Structure formats: structure tokens, C-alpha cells
Chains A and B, each alone.
Chain A
Amino acid sequence: MANPVTVDFPRNFTKALNDGQLRRNLRAAMDTLGLRRRNLFSDPEAFEQLRARGDAIRRRALSKLPQLLEQLERKCTENGIQVHWAETPDEANRICLEIMQRHNATRVIKGKSMVSEEMHLNHFLEERGIEALETDLGEYIIQLDHETPSHIIVPAIHKNRDQIARLFHEKIPNTPYTEVVEELNAIARKILREKFFAGEVGVSGVNFAVAETGTLCLVENEGNGRMCTTAPPVHIAVMGLEKVVERLEDVPPLLRLLTGSATGQLITTYFNMISSPRKPDEKDGPKEVHLVLLDNGRTQIWADPELRQTLKCIRCGTCLNHCPVYTRLGGHAYGYVYPGPIGSILTPQLEGLENAGAMATASTFCGACEEVCPVKIPIVDILRRLRIEAYNKVDSPHAVKGHGYKVNAMESLTWKGWALSNATPWVNALNAKLLGLLGPQLPRLPAPDIVKKWTQSRTLPKFASKSLHVLAKEKGLSDE
């Protein structure tokens, strides 16, 4: 994972844009996911109703977040799940490590979890001599290639079948080259089967944690999540503290929205509801279940009513699938764990604007992300807010970390001049006249940076010799 301070967006972006194979892979994958989602939510009215419900459920949960978290802790504890609170990723990592060390664990098996990516848990454990094996097929593939997920849901979406075939052939000893999907699956399955039973601790994420019952819900398709949470004697679930919902009945609509938005599935192959460790009369399941709740700046986000909406996210990744920018870059170019539209609003809030603020500029505000968001997060408004706070020191306890980092005299002056011209009719008229007169001469003048960037792929627009103001006057239009 890149060090936050050294993320070089322009270089990353250019590299991704020049990678034709990557762009073809992403395009094909996104078209498929988008089509599946459209087919599932084919009735716009019914979908709107479901979205409204999802939005309401998430709003309600966030409106009483502190109480629900307390209730969740109480219920989990009653059920025998041990609850831990972590303010920072480092704290969360240490909690996990301590549990693993207590059990002398050296091999950990993991189900897919974005929060564990946010914690850089694998790297942390590796440095301390613990092997953390990813068991989600996509995660397993990228781990083989020493990569991080490039998508929230489909971590290896940037790779096509041929690339995976080559990777397996090169990285897994004694593996013949094959492009047959079933054979590739069988190869991974055989290796992972053995690992499941060798794992001493299982780590998973949490899709929804139900406060009412103390239940941890886990959505998955491969069965690896079930293996990770039942085969080893210890299960550690890590979650961002916003994942809590109030009632059990809140889960079905959110689940429908999640699977439908993510992969266009009505339901997934597996839906795990973990409510306790193994009970005395039970034959299987872990003997210990731990829940690690990570804050990492979320309470700060939560404190602001507008920014709070970021936390409604159910991590379906559909905003990525529909984003024209993500589709052309892939997740790695963003340089942080959460890419695409949701990443562009979440990451700068977690990492600070001075580190990740540039992510908010990687959007045309086209609104495709908002249009598909199953819980109606106002992504564009929050992006705009981040742009504003990047340029302005904000006197508010809710200001985004790193606000004002972009304050610069030149840009401020330019906009001040622009505002003066557009708020003063005679200056505006004079400008229009000058541009009209100068228009044909402009190409001969030395081009400023802004013009060079525009003309790398486009010709410049021509200024009209008579503005609409002038034409309207000549036409005798009333100016009352």
C-alpha cells in the first residue's frame, strides 16, 4: 500500500490511462456489472421505494449511532462475543495481534474485509511473523501478485482470465497453464481447502451488525467467509463503527440493495448471521468470537450532518461500476484503499485533505454515482464541500482534516477577478467586447498553461465578435 504522503495522482492517472489492457478489462467488467444491476432493478418505481427505505434505515441508524453501538456491545457481550474498541488502525491491529498471540497463532485465514485493508492488517501481521492468507478468490489472486484490491467488491476486477492463468502458472508451484475457468477455480479451491483447516485464527469483515440482537451479518458467494468464521477456533470480525443497524428487520432491504447494486444478484450464495461462539452442545464453530470496532475518524465525520451521509455507505461498490473516471483508471490509480466516487469522499475525510484532497478533483460531477447509490449518498455535494474546504480554512469543529491546505494567492485572485467581472455589468460587457475583438489574435499570443492543457486533445472555442448581450440589444429585446 502506498504511503499516503507519496501518492502521486497525476503519475498514477497517466499510467492507468496508458494501460490499454487495464482499460479494456475494466470496461468489460463494468459493463457486465452495470447490465446485471439494471436487469435486477428493472422496475424504477419499486427500486425508488427500496432506495428510500435503505436511505431511511441508514439515516435512522446513524441518528442514534452512539446508543446503537452501546446496545450492540451489550447484546454481543451477552451472546458471548468479545467486543473491542479501536480509535486508530494501529490500535485495531494491536488488538488483533494480541488475540492471535494469545493463541500462539502463526497462520491466519481471512475473508474479504475492506476495514482490514484500511488497517493494512496483512502487512502489520506479516512484519510480526504471522501469515495472513486471503481466501476470497479475488483477494487470493491479488495477494499472489502482491497487490491490493482495486475494487471494494470485486478486488481483482482489473485482471482478465489470461492474466490470472499466467499468474497461477507462475506463482503456484507445479501448476500447468490453463485458461479454463473451472480449472482455475479448482486450483485455487484445492490450495485454499488445505489452508482453511490449517488456519489458527479466522478474520472477517462485517456487512451489517444488528444492535437489537447482537448479530454480525456477512454476505458472500464463495463459502470462504463461512469457512473463515467457523473452521478456526478463533474468529475476529473487524468493522467500521458505522456498520451498525438498529433492528433485524432492517437487514433484508439493505441486503437486497447491497447484492443487487454490487453484482446484480437477488441473493448471494451465502449469508452468514453470527450471533455467538460455539455453544456447549454444538459440534462446530469457533470457541471465541471477537468484534473489533474501528473508529479511525468516523466519529468526526459523523459529527457533521452533511458529511455524516458518507457513513450511510453499505459498500456495494456500484458507484465505482458506474463512474466514468473509475472505469478508466481502476482502483489502484487512486492510491488509497477506497477508490472511485465513495473513496473520493471517504478517503480525504479519513486521511486528511492535504494527503488525499486531490481525489475530490477526479470527478466531473456527472452524478452517475449518486443516481445509482442504493442509499442516496449525496456524493457530488460532498465532493464539492471537500473542494471548498481544500481552498478555505474553516472555522468549525466539523471541518474536514487538512482544510485550507490549498489556499493560494494566485488562484484566489483569479476567482476574485472573475467574480468582479461577472458581478459588474459594465466590466462584463467590456470583457466580452475585448474577447470578441482579440479572439482572432489569441492563437498568436503565448499560450498559458490552461490553454495548453485544453488543446492537447481539443481545438479552442472561438470568441464571437458580438456577444449575446449585444445581439439581444440589436434585436431590440426588452431589458426591463
Chain B
Amino acid sequence: MPTRPEKVYYFGTCLIDLCYPQAGMAGIELLRREGIQVIYPQQQSCCGQPAYNSGFPEEAKKVARQQLKAFPKDYPIIVPSGSCGGMLKHHYPKLFADAPEAAEAQRFSERVFELSEFLVRVLDIKLEDQGQPIKVTWHSSCSALREMRVIEYSKSLVRQLKNVEMIELQRERECCGFGGSFSVKQADLSSAMVADKVTDIEQTGASLLLSGDCGCLMNIGGALEHRQIPIPVKHVAEFILERAHG
């Protein structure tokens, strides 16, 4: 873990960029309120994971190279997503293993941190809950859980909020069935998986679902809405910012 830096880079992720920019901004705000200068390179785009996992590594590399270019300096790179964070941190070195950028990709990967881990471990952020009592539940994305291993940090942020009761899912460690191209190529399987996740969420009696990954939120939130179940979903950064700073 780095010591508290003056400046950090922020990698917004393509999904947040296009569909959930407010979740992205919340992460930026949380960092800025801790006195950190956040740099948002306009040259950034997607981490490359969609192509990488679908069987198109050359296309993934092309896009990944653009990210190496967009984040040239030595600052930590903060990512509000376990999935894209996992790609940048754990897969770039593999993707470029035999390429001229191998060393660069390795250094890049070492600078990558998932947002909640960075807030907790480096900034030791303290949250004061300003909100009304609420029951929430938490979905662990597979990559945050198994690749980035940051779930405890995300949950510890929510636990700092004294009026928030967090009810855990029965099958918290089970995938929601998103899996990028899986959700389209294996649509029936994906639907069956998210249906079970939705049932699990309903059974908690929570009025809000939180997660640190917008891919899962898009999948689960879409399924909740499709079934007209009035439980909204929210990225954890957006939630804690609202609670702590109004």
C-alpha cells in the first residue's frame, strides 16, 4: 500500500462513463474530500476486458495500450470497480507478457487500487452518518471478492454508517450471472442465475442493494426492475457519499 499521496489518477470504467457517471463522480468526491487531488485523464476509455474475455486479445491489447498511454505518471490509479480493477491489476501483465510493453504493464498494474480499499487502507476515511435509518443488503462481485479481494473494505465503509443496517445475502458468494458476454451468449443461464439472486435479495427485506461493481448492479438492477420489485440498486461510493455528506 502506498502512503497517502497528493495526487491520484481516476479510472472511471466505460460502463460508469456511459451509464452510471454519478457513481463515478461520487468516488471522485470521496477522494477530493480527503484532500486528494484527482486527475481524470480524458484519454482514458475501457480496460479492455470485454474483448479479452470474449476471445479477442489483440483488440483488448489495442484498447489496453491506450490506457497505458493515458496514465503515464507514477500516481496511484483508483478504480471504482472490482472487475475493471482486476483486469488492470491482474490481467494487464498477462496480456502484455510477450509484448514490448511488458515492463510498463507490470508497473501500471502495481499502481492500481480498487476505490474502497484505497479509502480504507490508505486514506483511513471516517464517515459520519447523516441519513435516516435504513436496511440495505450487499452484493459481492466475483472479481472484487476473488480477484481484488476487497469486499471487507467495502463492507467496512457501510458499517461505519450508524443508521444503516446491513443484512447479508444467503448466497453472497454466488455469482449474479452477469459475466459480460456470458449474459448474452448464455442468456437463459444468466437469467436463471440473476432470478435466484433477486429472490435472495427480496428475502432480506432490505430496501436497497449495494455493490461496488456497476456491471452487477446493471444486471441485478435490471432484473429487479423487470420484475417490478421496488428495491433500487446503488454503487457503494454513491451511497456513502450521500449518507456522510448529504
Contacts and interface: CB of A to CB of B under 8 A. Distances in A.
Nearest to B198: A457
Contact of B189 (A328, A365, A475): A328
Contact of A324 (B50, B54, B174, B219): B174
A305 interface: no
B127 interface: no
A144 interface: no
Contacts of B187: 453-454, 456-457
A415 B59 CA distance: 7
Contacts of A387: 53-55
Nearest to A416: B59
Contacts of A5: none
Interface string B47-83: 0101111111111101101100000010000000000
A381 B37 CA distance: 36
B241 interface: no
Given A464-B21, A471-B21, A325 B189 contact: yes
> Is chain A's interface secondary structure helix, strand, loop, or mixed overall?
helix
Given A324-B177, A461-B19, A463-B19, A390 B51 contact: no
> Is chain B's interface secondary structure helix, strand, loop, or mixed overall?
helix
Nearest to B227: A457
Contact of A365 (B24, B142, B219): B142
Nearest to B52: A384
A368 B39 contact: no
Interface stretch (A105-113, A163-171, A262-270, A418-426): A418-426
Contacts of B226: 455, 457-459
A459 B46 contact: no
A457 B179 contact: no
B130 interface: no
A299 interface: no
B174 A468 contact: no
Given A17-B188, A324-B177, A469-B17, A477 B40 contact: yes
Given A392-B55, A478-B40, A458 B186 contact: no
A14 B40 contact: no
A477 B45 contact: no
Interface in A317-339: 324-325, 328-329
B191 interface: yes
Contact of B20 (A418, A459, A464): A464
A371 interface: yes
Interface residues of B, number: 73
B218 interface: yes
A91 to B, nearest CB: 34
A424 B19 CA distance: 20
Interface stretch (A46-54, A75-83, A94-102, A356-364): A356-364
Contacts of A479: 39-43
Contacts of B118: none
B150 interface: no
B225 interface: yes
Nearest to B21: A468
A389 B142 CA distance: 25
B51 A467 contact: no
Question: Top 8 nearest A-B pairs by Cβ distance?
Answer: A364-B179, A458-B222, A366-B175, A387-B55, A457-B191, A419-B59, A366-B142, A472-B40
Given A423-B45, A477-B28, 19 more contacts: A13-B186, A13-B189, A324-B175, A329-B189, A368-B142, A384-B52, A387-B54, A421-B45, A422-B14, A422-B45, A425-B66, A454-B222, A456-B191, A457-B187, A457-B191, A461-B222, A466-B21, A472-B12, A477-B10
Interface of A: 10, 13-14, 17, 324-325, 328-329, 361-368, 370-371, 381, 384, 387-392, 406, 412, 415-416, 418-419, 421-425, 428-429, 432, 435-436, 450, 453-464, 466-473, 475, 477-480
19 contacts: A324-B193, A325-B189, A328-B193, A363-B182, A364-B193, A365-B53, A365-B180, A366-B179, A367-B143, A387-B53, A419-B60, A419-B62, A423-B45, A461-B222, A463-B19, A464-B18, A464-B20, A469-B42, A472-B24
